[in-house]
Every structure is written in structure tokens, then in C-alpha cells.
Amino acid sequence: MSITNKKIAIIGGGPGGLTLARLLQINGATVKVYERDKDRKVRVQGSTLDLHDDSGLKALEQGGLMDAFRENYRPGADLMRVTDKTAQIRYDQHEQGKGQDFGEAYFRPEIDRGPLRNILLDSLDPDTVVWNCHIVSISKVNGLWMLQFEDGTQVSADLVIGADGANSKIRKFVTDIVPVYSGVTMIEGTVYDAAQNAPRLWELTQGGKVFALGDNKTLVTSAKGDGSLSFYTGCKVDESWVKECGINFNDHRQLLEWFKETYKNWDKIWEELFTNDHTQFIPRPQYYMPLHQTWETQSDITIIGDAAHVMPPYAGEGVNMAMLDALELSECLTNSEYVEARDAIAAYEQRMRKRAFETTQMTLGQTETLHGPDALETLLDLFKN
């Protein structure tokens, strides 16, 4: 095993990093995960996650965690409604009955981010995750990586794995290739106590998802198990729009006015997302990594997940790609055929980049289509066929 007697540092405690830690630990590796969150009780934002048989669920199966997943996933949360901008339902998986149980062709079980994180955290050895560690820099000292954190703490590691997301601090030590703007910017938010604060949309979402299309724009809502409704808009704007638009994204009144103007032909039901004082809005320009990215493999550092291949979320592949990265990297690092870590990492990176090329290409095509003039009819035809 190429990592025998090596100290492994995983930067980032998201699904990819925690999955990797679990898979390495059950193979006897020495692992620490350094996470910037203050502790595990910090509220986890974002929409629910749909896991796929050949990636996310496969990684959980290899980690011996499928029983825990079955106990915590949300039946019915995978069901989607497609609407036009007037909120007229044009396609309804609740009526179609697709994806009702494990093993069915259309089933992509959904789980909230918090419960998934807890499953992974509870599977790790005590003190595997070091909380409140915001990495500032890394450097080589006497053949080891020295990790410098914001609070002044320093630790050393033989092998560093960047699982620290789209704004990875580790990526630049692996490659100087930078992400490319996709042409689409999202505004993400969450309405808490949605049955009270967004009752019409809560009813429309039916515990699952709503995908609304029109006027070259998208709007997606997703119900969560805590009674909140997460959502994100999608519009074609310049890359500099967030900085130049003049909107204070902490002011829901400004966001409401922006929505009324930008989505001016949309039904007023959608305005429920922007009328609550406690909603936090996050602008998210969507980036992707160049399709043909490549770099020279190193023996003691690599990247997984969004740090390696960030892409827009419209194909639902992000978390699944990260967890499959974790599975494939762990298999390479613990494979007795690879005596040297460089060989194991090279095998992983080659497979990962091939997958990333294919998935990014597909995702970019979907992103363009969903923000085009015929988006609704194209999506409806896809479901019909």
C-alpha cells in the first residue's frame, strides 16, 4: 500500500473529504480532516442532494454506510415538478410514480446535507476532524507539507488532498489552470418555516423539487426535511455582474425589486421567495474547469471534488462526482499494485479527468439549453422520451 506509515491531511470536510476519510480509515490509513466550520453543529445551507447508484451511493456502499443512508434519506424528495413561468405544472413525477424505491431505473434518493454529513462524521474515528481550521497556506519543509491555519496553528503531513471546494487553496499547488465563467449567475437562498413564509410555493413543491423555466431563465426550489425551502435563480449575465449591479445582497427588498424587474413576466407566486426578512441571499457566478485540463502528477498532493472539476449544478453531478473521486482515490492509494504514491495518484487523476471531461461537457450543454428560448419544451421532450 503506497500510503503505509504516511500522515494524510484532507483539507475540507464536505461530502467528498469525509467520504475519502472514511474509505481510507477502514483500510488502515492515518487521516486527519481539517475543516473551516467552527463545529459540526453549524447549520448546513444549500439544497438537498440526490445520490446516484454508480457514484455517491456506490461510495457509501463501499464505506459500509448504506443502512445509515436508508434510515436518513427522504422518500419522495427526489420527485420533480416542471412548470412554466406562470407556475402551471407541465410535468409531474408525483403523478408519474417514477423512482419510488432502490433499484428502479429513475430512482435518485435525496438526503439533506446535514444528515449526510452526520452519517459520514459518525463513521470516522474520534478526533479525525479538526474543526475551526481555516487554511491559509501550505509549503514544503524537509520533504513534508507544512499546513498553516488562520489561528496560527501549523501541522505537517506526508500527503495533502484538497477537498476544499470551488475556491480551493490547495488547487494552485497542483495546477495553475483556472476556472472559466459559464455565462450564468445564480442567486441562492433559503426560506425557513416555508409552510408559513412561502405557503403557495411550499404546496407547489410537494416535498420534492420544482424546476421552473421561461424567458431564458431558471428557478429551482427544493424542500428540506427541516421545513425550509431552498432555491436558486439562474440568469445569463456578465461575469462582473455581481460586483457591478449595485445590489446589496443582504437587503431582501433590493432583491425583490431585482426579481420583479428581471423576472417581470413571471407569476407573483415566485415573489414569496424574496419577501422574508430572515432569508439570506448568496450570489453564485457559475464556473467550470476547462475540458482538456491536465497537469503533471505529484507524489504527495492531489485534489478531489469541486477543487478538481467545479461545474454548474444543473446536471446534479457535483456531490456524486466528489464522492466517486473519493472512492477511486482511496482504491488507488490502498491498492497493493501501487508501491509508490505517485503511481497511485497518477492512476486516480487520469480516471478523474476523463470523467470530469465527459460530465462537464454534458453539464455545459444542459446549462446552455436550460437558459435558451426553447428550454421548457426541450426539457419536456426529454422527460417524455
Q: What pLDDT is attached to residue 102?
A: 80
Q: How does the average pLDDT of the chain come out, rounded?
A: 94
Residue 99 pLDDT > 60, yes or no? no
Q: What pLDDT is attached to residue 351?
A: 97
CA–CA distance, 220 with 229 (Å, rounded to integer): 10
Name the grid cell of 174. 497542483
Residue 23 pLDDT > 70, yes or no? yes
pLDDT band at residue 106 using 50, 70 and 90 as cut-offs: low
Q: What is the pLDDT of residues 75-89, one digit of tens each?
A: 999 999 999 999 999
Find, among 215, 237, 218, the residue nearest to 285 by Cα: 237
Give all domains of the chain, ordered by start, each with its CATH number.
Answer: 7-43+125-178+290-368 (3.50.50.60), 180-287 (3.30.9.30)
Q: What pLDDT is attached to residue 27?
A: 95
pTM: 0.95
Average pLDDT rounded to a whole number, residues 67-79: 94
Average pLDDT rounded to a whole number, residues 178-188: 97
Strand ordering across the sheet containing 154-157: 135-141, 144-149, 154-157
pLDDT band at residue 385 using 50, 70 and 90 as cut-offs: confident
Average pLDDT rounded to a whole number, residues 294-310: 98
Q: What single string gives the DSSP state of each residue in 167-208? A: T-SSGGGT-----EEEEEEEEEEEESSHHHHSHHHHHHHTTS
Residue ranges for the known binding site for NADPH are 43
Residue ranges for the known binding site for FAD are 50, 113, 306
Name the grid cell of 128. 479525525
pLDDT band at residue 41 using 50, 70 and 90 as cut-offs: confident
Percent of the chain with pLDDT over 70: 97
Residue 165 pLDDT > 60, yes or no? yes
pLDDT band at residue 277 using 50, 70 and 90 as cut-offs: confident
Residue ranges for the known binding site are 43, 50, 113, 306
pLDDT band at residue 212 using 50, 70 and 90 as cut-offs: very high
